[in-house]
């Protein structure tokens, strides 16, 4: 099979399209003929060399949509040819168990395309339990663009932040895949939405998705832009992936009793925060990543019903994965880049 693979960490140039053996499904696994996958910022971190063990040579791609091609022992009940999309979170039971105080052997929960080989290939292996049947009216490209970002946004807003109708929410990194999904989810939840993004065109597009106020961070100091837009009341919820350079500003933007949910740190993981704002306003700072199997199905149901429509920036073949990494790294993407394997 053809795959976009890297043998060492580095820049986008380390990714090459190669011929590899078609993998055989093990116990409980299904082999999916990949019809579409998509890039996430996670792919950039993995390629650069996160401080974790990954299989090398490595195939990235946490989003997998396609057709069941073969099944392993214990997964024979999954029909061949079924149209499916994969839940990218692995071993979520470990997280839930440890949270409840269980002593479990696994070191952490894992992610397809990070801790395992992913979907930037013609075939991929997925646990049968992670598959969700794809309705006929939903395109493979739509499902692939939606899966990781939708479950991330859904858990962050509805699970961790407990967003309620009428609340004010500030979403940073407005052009990203999680943010474009979150804007639509917050709109459907009846919130008033402020979005921090970059450039007039991006401001226009987040407005079309449902943002009430779009703030162009390239036009001035983000602190002043947010303060002027939100006024003395501030916002009830912040959803942030930017991290270090904005954290102090975002803490200040929260109203008393507000909640900040962080799911990324694209500008760095070590912010300086004035804790007096945190305890005086009785704020909550909440971390989140990925989501549970139930939350994945809830999020994808929003996509299947058309309530959330993933934004697709462009579509490339396997030979275009390196260039897609470069474009995402430069910040030139609005929404998701979909990868469509040839054949």
* pLDDT digit string, tens, across residues 6-22: 999 999 999 999 999 99
Average pLDDT of 111-118?
96
Average pLDDT of 291-313?
97
Average pLDDT of 133-147?
98
| φ, ψ of residue 70 in degrees (nearest 5) | -160, 160
pLDDT of residue 232: 81
Average pLDDT of 285-295?
95
| φ, ψ of residue 240 in degrees (nearest 5) | -130, 140
pLDDT of residue 112: 96
Q: Is the pLDDT of residue 107 over 60?
A: no
pLDDT band at 49 (very low <50, low <70, confident <90, very high): very high
Q: What is the mean pLDDT of the chain?
A: 94
Give the CA distances from residue 56 to residues 13, 46, 114, 238, in Å, rounded to whole numbers and listed in that order. Answer: 16, 11, 11, 37
DSSP H/E element including 253: helix 247-253
What spatial distance separates the first Cα and last Cα of the chain, rounded to whole Å? Answer: 9
Percent of the chain with pLDDT strictly greater than 70: 95
**What is the Cα–Cα distance from 26 to 287, expressed in whole angstroms?**
34
Q: Count, in order, helices (H) and strands (E) of the chain.
A: 10, 18
**What is the Cα–Cα distance from 186 to 183, expressed in whole angstroms?**
5
pLDDT of residue 96: 65
DSSP 13: G
CA angle 28, 299, 35 (to 5 degrees): 55
Residue 121, strand partner residues = 3
**By C-alpha distance, which of 81, 178, 188 is closest to 136?**
81
pTM value surpassing 0.85: yes
Taking each helix axis from N to C end, the angle separating 41-48 and 321-330, rounded to the nearest 10 degrees, works out to 100
Q: Is the pLDDT of residue 106 over 90?
A: no
């Amino acid at each position: 099979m053809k795959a976009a693979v890297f043998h060492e960490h580095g820049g986008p140039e380390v990714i090459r399209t190669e011929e590899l053996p078609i993998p055989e499904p093990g116990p409980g696994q299904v082999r999916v003929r990949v019809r579409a996958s998509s890039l996430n910022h996670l792919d950039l971190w993995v390629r650069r060399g996160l401080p974790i063990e990954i299989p090398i040579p490595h195939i990235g791609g946490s989003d997998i949509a396609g057709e069941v091609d073969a099944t392993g022992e214990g997964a024979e009940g999954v029909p061949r040819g079924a149209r499916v999309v994969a839940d990218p979170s692995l071993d979520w039971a470990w997280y839930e168990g440890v949270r409840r105080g269980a002593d479990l052997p696994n070191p952490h929960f894992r992610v397809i395309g990070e801790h395992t080989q992913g979907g930037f290939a013609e075939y991929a292996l997925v646990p049968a339990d992670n598959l969700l049947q794809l309705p006929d009216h939903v395109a493979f490209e739509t499902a692939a663009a939606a899966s990781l970002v939708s479950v991330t946004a859904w858990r962050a807003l509805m699970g961790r932040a407990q967003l309620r109708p009428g609340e004010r929410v500030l979403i940073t990194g407005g052009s990203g895949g999680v943010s474009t999904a979150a804007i639509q989810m917050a709109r459907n939840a009846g919130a008033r939405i402020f979005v921090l993004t970059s450039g007039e065109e991006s401001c226009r597009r987040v407005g079309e998705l449902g943002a009430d106020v779009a703030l162009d961070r390239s036009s001035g100091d983000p602190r002043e832009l947010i303060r002027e837009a939100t006024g003395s009341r501030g916002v009830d919820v912040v959803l942030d992936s930017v991290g270090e350079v904005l954290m102090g500003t975002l803490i200040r933007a929260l109203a008393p009793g507000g909640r900040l949910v962080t799911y990324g740190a694209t500008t760095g993981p070590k912010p300086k925060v004035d804790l007096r704002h945190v305890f005086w306003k009785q704020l909550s700072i909440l971390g989140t990543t990925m989501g549970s199997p139930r939350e994945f199905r809830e999020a994808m149901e929003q996509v299947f019903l058309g309530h959330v429509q993933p934004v697709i920036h462009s579509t490339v073949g396997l030979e275009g994965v390196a260039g897609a990494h470069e474009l995402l790294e430069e910040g030139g993407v609005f929404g998701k880049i979909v990868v469509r394997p040839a054949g």
